[in-house]
Amino acid sequence: MTAQNKLTDECALVAGSSSGLGLAIAKALADEGCDLHMAGRNPDHLDDAAEDISDSTSVDVEAHATDLSSAINAAALALECDDSGILINAFGEAPTGKIVDLEDDDWRQGFELKVFATISLCREMFETLGDTGAGIIINIGCPEATGICADTINATLRTFSERLDEEARRDGVRVLFHQPSPDMDDKENANDIVKIILGHFAS
C-alpha cells in the first residue's frame, strides 16, 4: 500500500455519484485505491462517470442506476453492495426559496429524497457495515445559505446522524454528518470528506 493508496482494501457505496459532489467523492476515493459502487438516477451519466473512473484508475467500479426515493430500491441496492465498508449519501437537493415561495409538494420532494431516502439506505446498509467492525457512513447535507428548506433538512440529517452514531459505535461503525462549504468547489469538499474517511480507518 502506497501513500497514495490508503484505501486499497476498502469498498465504498457512493449514492448520488453520477455528477456533482458525489462524483467528486467517488473520484477522490478511487485515487486512494478504494473500490466503488456508484449509484445514481441517470443511467447515461452514471455509466459515463463509472467508465471514466475505471479507465483512469486501477479500482473496481460498478454502476447501479436506481431511484433511491423508493425504499424497495434502497433495499435492493444494499444487497448488491454488501461488500461495502463505506457509505456516502450524497444524493438529493433541497428546493430554494423563502417559506412563502415553497408549496407543500416542494417540502415533501426535498425531504423524500434528501432525508427519507438517506434514512432508508442507512437502515438497509447498517447490518452490512456493522459486520465489518469498522465501517463509516457520511451523510452529506445541503450547502449553507440555500434557504429555509435546506436548513431544516440539514438540522434533521445532523440530528439523525448524531443519534445513529451513538447506536452504531457499539458495532465499530461511525455515522457523521457533513455540510459542504459553499466557499469550496466539489473537488475541495470531496477531499475534505476523504480525509475524514482516512482518519477513521487510521484510528
- Within-domain flag for 104: yes
pLDDT (tens digit, 9 = 90+) per residue, 6-64?
A: 899 999 999 999 999 999 999 999 999 999 999 999 999 999 999 999 999 999 999 99
Structural domain containing residue 74? 11-202
**Residue 4 in domain:** no
pLDDT of residue 145: 67
Q: Could you tell me if residue 176 is inside a domain?
A: yes
Is residue 6 assigned to a domain? no
Quick one: cell of 190?
A: 470531496
CATH value at residue 162: 3.40.50.720
Q: Is residue 115 part of a domain?
A: yes
pLDDT over threshold 80, residue 4 = no
Spatial contact of 113 and 91, defined as CB atoms under 8 Å apart: yes
- In our burial notation (b when 16+ CB lie closer than 10 A, e otherwise), range 118-145 reads bbbbbebbbebbbebebbbbbbbbbbee
Is 2 contained in some domain?
A: no
Q: Based on the structure, what is the number of domains in the chain?
A: 1
Digit-coded pLDDT (tens) for 103-126: 999 999 999 989 999 999 999 999
Q: Share the mean pLDDT of the chain.
A: 94
Residue 1 lies in a domain: no
Q: Is 136 within a domain?
A: yes
